[in-house]
Amino acid sequence: MLIRIFLFVLLLVFAEARIYSQEADPFLSGFFAVQQDDGIYLRWTIKAGNTCDGTRIQRFSEGIGYENIGEIPGVCGNPDVSVSYDFTDSNPEKNKTNLYRLEMGILGNSSPVAIEYLVLNDEGFSVQPNPVKGRSRLLFNNPDNVETTLLVADMSGKIVWQSETSNNYFFIDSNFLGSGMYMFTLKNDNSGYTKGKILVVQ
């Protein structure tokens, strides 16, 4: 039991991304999601006195609804003690919010937990979609929510747009930029400078 607690604490300390959790259902004392290098790690605890016949892990897909992505067979829970379970989704939707729930037989469905799975390129950013047509989102690593400045310049080096945020993304609207290639710079006190290019089409 002590080893399990120790490993759980290590997971919380060394997880590279934020933890997302939901208010516990009557039969759960916790259900949370953590982004890791190999996907999204899910962990939940069934309160003592609750049992079910297997647990199906489900992820929401637009236009389809919830689909089974994994299963823990057999009796789940315990009449006398709380029991924890975990599962890793190794193929979450990249740079999108993934919504998960547990289907637990007679206990019913859990409330969903949502987590955005961010995958950045080697330069530390991602533009979705790129080329920019309409509106795109520029994602970057900002775990401490540091004030970050975005500078967008045309190919001559002239700054044509500037914005600030303490989030980990900027929205880029093609209505404010003409068609063509642009260079951008992200800068803050923590990470210094990140540079890249975007293509805008009308």
What class has domain 16-117?
mainly beta
The predicted pLDDT at position 24 comes to 65
The pLDDT assigned to 17 comes to 42
Among candidates 58, 50, 54, which has minimal Cα distance to 26?
50
Higher pLDDT, 87 or 62: 87
> Domain map of the chain by residue range?
16-117, 125-200
Question: Is 2.60.40.3080 the CATH number for 125-200?
Answer: yes
16-117 against 125-200: fold identical: yes
Given this model, what pLDDT does residue 193 score? 85
Please state the rounded mean pLDDT for residues 126-141: 90
- pLDDT band per the 50, 70, 90 thresholds, residue 10: very low
Task: Look at residue 88 in the predicted model and tell me its pLDDT.
Answer: 97
pTM for the full model?
0.68
pLDDT for 87-133, tens place per residue?
999 999 988 899 999 999 999 999 999 998 888 888 889 998 889 99
